[in-house]
Structure 1
Amino acid sequence: MKPPDEVDDPRARFEAGLSGLRGRRILAVDYWDVHNFASEPAEWDYGNWHQAVMGVGLDTDAGPATITWTDTFYSYGVEVLDGRIEDHLSTGDEGPERVGPDVGSAGPWDRYLRTPIRGTAAHWERVELGPSRRADGTVVEPASAVDVPLALRLDFAAGSVWFVAAMPQPPDWQRVFVGGDEIMVVFSPERMRDMGFGDATFRQ
Protein backbone atom coordinates (compact mmCIF):
# COMPACT_ATOMS: atom_id res chain seq x y z
CA MET A 1 0.00 0.00 0.00
CA LYS A 2 1.28 3.48 -0.88
CA PRO A 3 1.92 6.03 1.89
CA PRO A 4 -0.96 8.55 2.17
CA ASP A 5 1.04 11.34 0.48
CA GLU A 6 1.63 9.13 -2.58
CA VAL A 7 -2.02 8.09 -3.13
CA ASP A 8 -3.47 9.75 -6.23
CA ASP A 9 -7.17 9.93 -5.31
CA PRO A 10 -7.88 12.69 -2.71
CA ARG A 11 -10.57 10.70 -0.89
CA ALA A 12 -8.42 7.56 -0.76
CA ARG A 13 -5.51 9.69 0.47
CA PHE A 14 -7.75 11.16 3.17
CA GLU A 15 -8.92 7.72 4.32
CA ALA A 16 -5.34 6.38 4.31
CA GLY A 17 -4.15 9.27 6.46
CA LEU A 18 -6.99 8.81 8.95
CA SER A 19 -6.77 5.02 9.19
CA GLY A 20 -3.00 5.35 9.55
CA LEU A 21 -3.56 6.67 13.08
CA ARG A 22 -5.08 3.39 14.27
CA GLY A 23 -2.88 1.55 16.73
CA ARG A 24 -0.73 4.58 17.48
CA ARG A 25 -0.32 5.92 21.00
CA ILE A 26 -0.50 9.69 21.40
CA LEU A 27 2.34 10.90 23.62
CA ALA A 28 1.74 14.66 23.46
CA VAL A 29 -0.73 17.13 21.96
CA ASP A 30 -0.04 20.66 20.68
CA TYR A 31 -2.66 23.27 19.79
CA TRP A 32 -1.62 26.01 17.38
CA ASP A 33 -3.14 29.46 16.91
CA VAL A 34 -2.32 32.61 14.98
CA HIS A 35 0.37 34.77 16.57
CA ASN A 36 -0.81 36.33 19.82
CA PHE A 37 0.07 40.02 20.04
CA ALA A 38 -1.95 40.55 23.24
CA SER A 39 -0.43 40.65 26.71
CA GLU A 40 -2.72 37.84 27.93
CA PRO A 41 -2.26 34.21 26.81
CA ALA A 42 -4.53 33.02 24.01
CA GLU A 43 -7.60 31.16 25.30
CA TRP A 44 -8.19 27.63 24.10
CA ASP A 45 -9.80 25.66 26.99
CA TYR A 46 -13.60 25.80 27.12
CA GLY A 47 -14.26 22.70 29.22
CA ASN A 48 -15.74 19.98 27.03
CA TRP A 49 -14.12 21.45 23.92
CA HIS A 50 -10.84 23.11 23.04
CA GLN A 51 -10.01 25.60 20.31
CA ALA A 52 -6.98 24.89 18.13
CA VAL A 53 -7.36 27.56 15.47
CA MET A 54 -4.57 26.48 13.11
CA GLY A 55 -4.69 22.79 13.98
CA VAL A 56 -3.40 20.07 16.29
CA GLY A 57 0.01 18.46 16.38
CA LEU A 58 0.10 14.87 17.63
CA ASP A 59 3.33 13.34 18.87
CA THR A 60 2.83 9.58 18.58
CA ASP A 61 4.92 6.48 19.16
CA ALA A 62 5.04 6.05 15.36
CA GLY A 63 6.07 9.63 14.59
CA PRO A 64 4.30 12.99 14.39
CA ALA A 65 0.97 13.65 12.72
CA THR A 66 -1.14 16.74 12.15
CA ILE A 67 -4.89 17.30 12.23
CA THR A 68 -5.85 20.57 10.60
CA TRP A 69 -8.31 22.23 8.25
CA THR A 70 -7.64 22.09 4.54
CA ASP A 71 -9.32 22.96 1.25
CA THR A 72 -8.54 19.59 -0.33
CA PHE A 73 -12.22 18.96 -1.08
CA TYR A 74 -13.75 22.38 -0.58
CA SER A 75 -13.21 25.24 1.84
CA TYR A 76 -13.04 23.95 4.59
CA GLY A 77 -12.72 20.37 5.87
CA VAL A 78 -10.62 18.55 8.44
CA GLU A 79 -7.75 16.28 7.41
CA VAL A 80 -4.92 14.16 8.84
CA LEU A 81 -1.48 14.98 7.47
CA ASP A 82 1.81 13.22 8.07
CA GLY A 83 4.58 15.00 9.94
CA ARG A 84 4.86 17.85 12.42
CA ILE A 85 2.30 20.63 12.30
CA GLU A 86 5.15 23.13 12.00
CA ASP A 87 5.93 21.60 8.60
CA HIS A 88 2.44 22.50 7.37
CA LEU A 89 2.37 26.09 8.64
CA SER A 90 4.21 29.24 7.60
CA THR A 91 5.98 29.94 10.88
CA GLY A 92 8.23 32.86 11.77
CA ASP A 93 8.57 35.67 14.28
CA GLU A 94 4.95 36.70 13.80
CA GLY A 95 3.59 33.42 12.46
CA PRO A 96 1.40 30.77 14.12
CA GLU A 97 2.49 29.51 17.52
CA ARG A 98 1.77 26.77 20.03
CA VAL A 99 -0.80 27.83 22.64
CA GLY A 100 -1.60 24.68 24.64
CA PRO A 101 -2.43 22.34 26.24
CA ASP A 102 -0.44 23.33 29.29
CA VAL A 103 2.60 21.14 29.84
CA GLY A 104 1.90 18.57 32.58
CA SER A 105 -1.78 19.47 32.69
CA ALA A 106 -3.48 18.04 29.63
CA GLY A 107 -6.93 18.01 31.26
CA PRO A 108 -9.33 15.84 29.23
CA TRP A 109 -6.38 14.42 27.28
CA ASP A 110 -5.02 12.69 30.40
CA ARG A 111 -7.32 9.69 29.90
CA TYR A 112 -6.27 9.20 26.27
CA LEU A 113 -2.53 9.82 26.25
CA ARG A 114 -0.27 6.77 25.94
CA THR A 115 -3.20 4.50 25.05
CA PRO A 116 -3.69 3.12 21.51
CA ILE A 117 -6.14 4.62 19.05
CA ARG A 118 -8.62 1.76 18.60
CA GLY A 119 -10.58 3.17 15.71
CA THR A 120 -11.20 6.18 13.49
CA ALA A 121 -14.20 7.60 11.65
CA ALA A 122 -15.00 10.59 9.45
CA HIS A 123 -18.19 12.58 9.00
CA TRP A 124 -18.76 13.69 5.41
CA GLU A 125 -21.42 16.13 4.30
CA ARG A 126 -22.55 17.01 0.78
CA VAL A 127 -22.19 20.73 0.12
CA GLU A 128 -24.33 22.18 -2.66
CA LEU A 129 -22.52 24.73 -4.82
CA GLY A 130 -24.52 27.24 -6.82
CA PRO A 131 -23.69 28.06 -10.42
CA SER A 132 -20.64 30.23 -11.03
CA ARG A 133 -21.55 33.36 -13.01
CA ARG A 134 -19.76 36.23 -14.67
CA ALA A 135 -20.63 39.80 -13.74
CA ASP A 136 -23.12 39.87 -16.62
CA GLY A 137 -24.93 36.82 -15.24
CA THR A 138 -23.58 34.31 -17.74
CA VAL A 139 -23.17 30.87 -16.14
CA VAL A 140 -19.51 29.79 -16.25
CA GLU A 141 -19.97 26.57 -14.31
CA PRO A 142 -23.27 24.83 -13.55
CA ALA A 143 -24.47 24.06 -10.03
CA SER A 144 -22.77 21.06 -8.48
CA ALA A 145 -22.19 19.30 -5.17
CA VAL A 146 -19.09 18.12 -3.33
CA ASP A 147 -18.53 15.84 -0.33
CA VAL A 148 -16.51 17.45 2.46
CA PRO A 149 -15.07 15.80 5.62
CA LEU A 150 -16.25 18.20 8.32
CA ALA A 151 -15.25 16.12 11.34
CA LEU A 152 -13.28 13.07 12.34
CA ARG A 153 -13.24 10.91 15.44
CA LEU A 154 -10.47 9.03 17.26
CA ASP A 155 -11.59 6.17 19.50
CA PHE A 156 -9.74 5.09 22.64
CA ALA A 157 -10.58 2.60 25.38
CA ALA A 158 -11.59 5.55 27.57
CA GLY A 159 -13.84 7.16 24.96
CA SER A 160 -13.69 9.28 21.82
CA VAL A 161 -12.28 12.65 20.77
CA TRP A 162 -13.70 14.60 17.81
CA PHE A 163 -11.89 17.12 15.60
CA VAL A 164 -14.18 19.49 13.71
CA ALA A 165 -13.51 22.12 11.06
CA ALA A 166 -15.61 24.70 12.86
CA MET A 167 -15.56 28.19 14.34
CA PRO A 168 -17.28 29.31 17.55
CA GLN A 169 -19.26 32.51 17.09
CA PRO A 170 -18.49 34.93 19.96
CA PRO A 171 -19.88 36.50 22.02
CA ASP A 172 -22.13 33.41 22.19
CA TRP A 173 -19.47 30.70 22.39
CA GLN A 174 -22.14 27.99 22.19
CA ARG A 175 -22.96 29.01 18.60
CA VAL A 176 -20.74 27.29 16.06
CA PHE A 177 -20.24 27.64 12.33
CA VAL A 178 -19.32 24.19 11.00
CA GLY A 179 -17.14 24.21 7.90
CA GLY A 180 -14.86 27.01 9.10
CA ASP A 181 -11.11 27.47 8.91
CA GLU A 182 -10.42 26.53 12.54
CA ILE A 183 -10.25 23.27 14.45
CA MET A 184 -12.40 22.52 17.48
CA VAL A 185 -11.39 19.53 19.62
CA VAL A 186 -14.50 18.10 21.27
CA PHE A 187 -14.63 15.66 24.19
CA SER A 188 -18.41 15.34 24.58
CA PRO A 189 -21.00 13.62 22.36
CA GLU A 190 -23.57 16.06 23.73
CA ARG A 191 -21.46 18.95 22.49
CA MET A 192 -21.25 17.30 19.07
CA ARG A 193 -25.05 16.97 19.06
CA ASP A 194 -25.44 20.64 19.98
CA MET A 195 -23.13 21.55 17.09
CA GLY A 196 -25.57 19.91 14.68
CA PHE A 197 -24.09 16.44 14.20
CA GLY A 198 -27.29 14.41 14.18
CA ASP A 199 -25.72 11.04 13.32
CA ALA A 200 -25.80 9.21 16.66
CA THR A 201 -23.38 6.53 15.42
CA PHE A 202 -20.76 9.21 14.74
CA ARG A 203 -21.33 10.64 18.23
CA GLN A 204 -20.96 7.28 20.01
Structure 2
Amino acid sequence: MGSVNEVDDQRARFEAKLSDLRGRRFTAVDYWDIHIDAPEPARWDYGDWHHAVMGFELTCDAGPATVTWTNTFFPHGVEVFDNGIQEHLVLGEGGPVRIGPLIDSGSVWRRYLGAAVRRTALHWERMELGPARRADGSVVAPARTVDVPTALRIDFDAGAVWFVAAIPQLPDARAMGFDDPAFLR
Protein backbone atom coordinates (compact mmCIF):
# COMPACT_ATOMS: atom_id res chain seq x y z
CA MET A 1 0.00 0.00 0.00
CA GLY A 2 1.28 3.50 -0.80
CA SER A 3 1.46 6.71 1.17
CA VAL A 4 -1.36 8.02 3.37
CA ASN A 5 -2.46 10.39 0.58
CA GLU A 6 -2.53 7.55 -1.97
CA VAL A 7 -4.61 5.40 0.40
CA ASP A 8 -7.01 8.33 1.08
CA ASP A 9 -7.37 8.98 -2.67
CA GLN A 10 -8.00 5.29 -3.34
CA ARG A 11 -10.58 5.15 -0.55
CA ALA A 12 -12.37 8.26 -1.91
CA ARG A 13 -12.52 6.73 -5.42
CA PHE A 14 -13.80 3.50 -3.90
CA GLU A 15 -16.61 5.27 -2.01
CA ALA A 16 -17.51 7.38 -5.06
CA LYS A 17 -18.30 4.20 -7.03
CA LEU A 18 -20.87 3.22 -4.42
CA SER A 19 -22.32 6.74 -4.37
CA ASP A 20 -22.82 6.49 -8.14
CA LEU A 21 -25.65 4.01 -7.46
CA ARG A 22 -27.79 6.81 -6.01
CA GLY A 23 -30.75 7.62 -8.21
CA ARG A 24 -30.51 4.37 -10.18
CA ARG A 25 -33.55 2.08 -10.35
CA PHE A 26 -33.15 -1.71 -10.20
CA THR A 27 -35.22 -4.08 -12.30
CA ALA A 28 -33.55 -7.37 -11.33
CA VAL A 29 -31.04 -8.82 -8.87
CA ASP A 30 -28.88 -11.91 -9.39
CA TYR A 31 -26.64 -13.38 -6.70
CA TRP A 32 -23.60 -15.46 -7.55
CA ASP A 33 -22.43 -18.29 -5.35
CA ILE A 34 -19.77 -20.97 -5.27
CA HIS A 35 -20.99 -24.11 -7.04
CA ILE A 36 -21.78 -26.72 -4.39
CA ASP A 37 -23.68 -29.95 -5.00
CA ALA A 38 -26.14 -29.85 -2.11
CA PRO A 39 -29.81 -30.80 -1.73
CA GLU A 40 -30.76 -27.31 -0.49
CA PRO A 41 -29.95 -23.99 -2.15
CA ALA A 42 -27.36 -21.83 -0.42
CA ARG A 43 -28.77 -19.42 2.13
CA TRP A 44 -28.26 -15.75 1.29
CA ASP A 45 -31.16 -13.95 2.98
CA TYR A 46 -30.69 -13.30 6.72
CA GLY A 47 -33.48 -10.75 7.07
CA ASP A 48 -31.78 -7.41 7.67
CA TRP A 49 -28.62 -8.39 5.79
CA HIS A 50 -27.64 -10.51 2.82
CA HIS A 51 -24.64 -12.56 1.90
CA ALA A 52 -23.91 -13.07 -1.76
CA VAL A 53 -20.86 -15.34 -1.62
CA MET A 54 -19.27 -14.26 -4.90
CA GLY A 55 -21.26 -11.04 -5.26
CA PHE A 56 -24.36 -9.81 -6.98
CA GLU A 57 -25.38 -8.05 -10.15
CA LEU A 58 -28.06 -5.38 -10.23
CA THR A 59 -29.83 -4.81 -13.53
CA CYS A 60 -30.47 -1.06 -13.54
CA ASP A 61 -32.14 1.52 -15.71
CA ALA A 62 -28.65 2.88 -16.49
CA GLY A 63 -27.03 -0.52 -17.18
CA PRO A 64 -25.69 -3.23 -14.87
CA ALA A 65 -23.89 -2.69 -11.59
CA THR A 66 -21.89 -5.33 -9.74
CA VAL A 67 -20.93 -5.71 -6.11
CA THR A 68 -18.31 -8.37 -5.48
CA TRP A 69 -15.36 -9.20 -3.26
CA THR A 70 -12.09 -7.57 -4.18
CA ASN A 71 -8.64 -7.11 -2.75
CA THR A 72 -8.29 -3.39 -3.44
CA PHE A 73 -7.49 -2.77 0.23
CA PHE A 74 -7.19 -6.35 1.51
CA PRO A 75 -8.90 -9.65 0.59
CA HIS A 76 -12.63 -9.94 1.24
CA GLY A 77 -13.60 -6.29 0.97
CA VAL A 78 -16.63 -5.36 -1.13
CA GLU A 79 -16.47 -3.13 -4.18
CA VAL A 80 -18.88 -1.71 -6.76
CA PHE A 81 -18.35 -1.86 -10.52
CA ASP A 82 -20.30 -0.28 -13.36
CA ASN A 83 -20.56 -3.43 -15.49
CA GLY A 84 -21.73 -7.05 -15.30
CA ILE A 85 -20.42 -9.49 -12.73
CA GLN A 86 -19.14 -11.87 -15.43
CA GLU A 87 -16.33 -9.34 -15.98
CA HIS A 88 -15.08 -10.04 -12.44
CA LEU A 89 -15.53 -13.79 -11.94
CA VAL A 90 -13.65 -16.74 -13.40
CA LEU A 91 -16.52 -18.74 -14.86
CA GLY A 92 -16.32 -22.43 -15.65
CA GLU A 93 -18.02 -25.77 -15.37
CA GLY A 94 -17.42 -25.93 -11.60
CA GLY A 95 -18.94 -22.54 -10.89
CA PRO A 96 -19.60 -19.97 -9.66
CA VAL A 97 -23.33 -20.17 -10.33
CA ARG A 98 -26.04 -17.55 -10.78
CA ILE A 99 -28.93 -17.56 -8.31
CA GLY A 100 -31.75 -15.44 -9.60
CA PRO A 101 -33.32 -13.31 -10.73
CA LEU A 102 -34.44 -12.70 -7.16
CA ILE A 103 -37.83 -11.16 -7.81
CA ASP A 104 -40.20 -13.93 -6.70
CA SER A 105 -42.92 -13.16 -4.17
CA GLY A 106 -40.77 -14.17 -1.19
CA SER A 107 -37.82 -11.96 -2.05
CA VAL A 108 -37.04 -8.84 -0.03
CA TRP A 109 -36.02 -7.29 -3.35
CA ARG A 110 -39.62 -7.29 -4.57
CA ARG A 111 -40.44 -4.08 -2.67
CA TYR A 112 -37.32 -2.30 -3.96
CA LEU A 113 -37.51 -3.10 -7.66
CA GLY A 114 -38.24 -0.01 -9.71
CA ALA A 115 -37.46 2.28 -6.75
CA ALA A 116 -34.57 4.73 -6.85
CA VAL A 117 -31.59 4.31 -4.55
CA ARG A 118 -31.75 7.17 -2.02
CA ARG A 119 -28.58 6.61 0.01
CA THR A 120 -25.56 4.33 0.15
CA ALA A 121 -23.04 3.63 2.90
CA LEU A 122 -19.92 1.55 3.45
CA HIS A 123 -18.85 0.03 6.75
CA TRP A 124 -15.08 -0.02 7.18
CA GLU A 125 -13.25 -2.28 9.62
CA ARG A 126 -9.70 -1.72 10.80
CA MET A 127 -7.64 -4.90 10.68
CA GLU A 128 -4.27 -5.49 12.31
CA LEU A 129 -2.11 -7.73 10.12
CA GLY A 130 0.93 -9.46 11.49
CA PRO A 131 4.17 -9.56 9.55
CA ALA A 132 4.19 -11.69 6.38
CA ARG A 133 6.76 -14.46 6.72
CA ARG A 134 8.43 -16.98 4.48
CA ALA A 135 8.38 -20.69 5.34
CA ASP A 136 11.77 -20.25 7.05
CA GLY A 137 10.29 -17.56 9.34
CA SER A 138 12.04 -14.59 7.78
CA VAL A 139 9.89 -11.46 7.44
CA VAL A 140 8.77 -10.52 3.91
CA ALA A 141 6.60 -7.56 4.93
CA PRO A 142 6.23 -5.80 8.27
CA ALA A 143 3.06 -5.78 10.38
CA ARG A 144 0.54 -3.17 9.31
CA THR A 145 -2.95 -1.83 9.86
CA VAL A 146 -5.46 -1.69 7.00
CA ASP A 147 -9.01 -0.41 6.66
CA VAL A 148 -11.26 -2.81 4.74
CA PRO A 149 -14.80 -2.14 3.41
CA THR A 150 -16.63 -5.16 4.82
CA ALA A 151 -20.27 -4.22 4.31
CA LEU A 152 -22.36 -1.90 2.21
CA ARG A 153 -25.86 -0.57 2.53
CA ILE A 154 -28.30 0.49 -0.19
CA ASP A 155 -31.30 2.58 0.98
CA PHE A 156 -34.63 2.94 -0.80
CA ASP A 157 -37.75 4.82 0.34
CA ALA A 158 -39.25 1.46 1.35
CA GLY A 159 -36.24 0.37 3.43
CA ALA A 160 -32.65 -0.79 3.12
CA VAL A 161 -30.69 -3.84 2.07
CA TRP A 162 -27.12 -4.39 3.14
CA PHE A 163 -24.48 -6.94 2.24
CA VAL A 164 -21.44 -8.31 3.98
CA ALA A 165 -18.22 -9.67 2.56
CA ALA A 166 -16.62 -12.93 3.72
CA ILE A 167 -18.76 -15.50 5.53
CA PRO A 168 -20.19 -14.16 8.78
CA GLN A 169 -21.63 -16.63 11.25
CA LEU A 170 -23.91 -14.39 13.31
CA PRO A 171 -27.62 -13.92 12.63
CA ASP A 172 -28.10 -10.16 12.76
CA ALA A 173 -26.34 -6.88 12.09
CA ARG A 174 -25.90 -5.72 15.68
CA ALA A 175 -24.54 -9.08 16.82
CA MET A 176 -21.98 -8.86 14.02
CA GLY A 177 -20.74 -5.53 15.35
CA PHE A 178 -22.49 -3.28 12.84
CA ASP A 179 -24.02 -1.15 15.57
CA ASP A 180 -23.25 2.27 14.13
CA PRO A 181 -26.65 4.06 14.22
CA ALA A 182 -25.87 5.89 10.98
CA PHE A 183 -25.22 2.57 9.28
CA LEU A 184 -28.21 0.66 10.67
CA ARG A 185 -31.04 3.19 10.64
- Relative to the length of structure 1, the TM-score reads 0.77
Is the CA contact (8 Å cut-off) linking 2:32 and 2:97 kept in structure 1?
yes
CA contact (8 A) 2:26 2:113 kept: yes
Please tell me the root mean square deviation across aligned C-alpha atoms, in Å. Answer: 2.1
Once the two structures are superposed, residues 26-66 of structure 1 have per-residue CA deviations (whole angstroms, 9 ceiling, x without a partner) of 1100011122434x352325451444211111001010011
Q: In the aligned structure 2, how far is the partner of 1:76 from the partner of 1:114?
A: 30
Q: How far did residue 75 of structure 1 move?
A: 1.3
Distance 1:19 1:46, change over 3 A: closer
The CA distance in 1 between the partners of 2:102 and 2:152, in whole Å, is 24
Q: Residues 25 and 117 of structure 2 are in contact (CA less than 8 Å); yes or no, is this contact kept in structure 1?
A: yes
CA–CA distance in 2 between the matches of 1:50 and 1:147? 22
- Is the contact made by 1:29 and 1:57 (CA closer than 8 Å) also made in structure 2? yes
> Which residue of 2 is the match for residue 66 of structure 1?
66
Match of 2:75 in 1: 75
Find out whether 1:197 has 2:185 as its counterpart.
no
Distance of aligned partners of 1:147 and 1:50 in 2 relative to their CA distance in 1, 3 Å threshold: closer
- Structure 1, residues 71-119: CA drift from partner, whole Å, max 9, x if none? 1110111111121112211223322111235553352111211100011
Match of 1:44 in 2: 43
User: Does the 8 Å contact 1:152/1:164 carry over to 2?
Assistant: yes
Listed as ranges, the matches of 1:49-128 within 5 Å are 49-100=49-100, 102-105=102-105, 107-128=107-128
Q: How many residue pairs were aligned?
A: 176
Counterpart contact for 1:44–1:99, Cα < 8 Å: no
Partner of 1:27: 27
Length-normalised TM-score, structure 2:
0.84
DSSP-derived class of the 1:63 partner? coil
* Percentage of identical aligned residues: 59
The DSSP-based 3-state class of the residue aligned with 1:192 is coil
- Structure having the higher strand fraction is 1
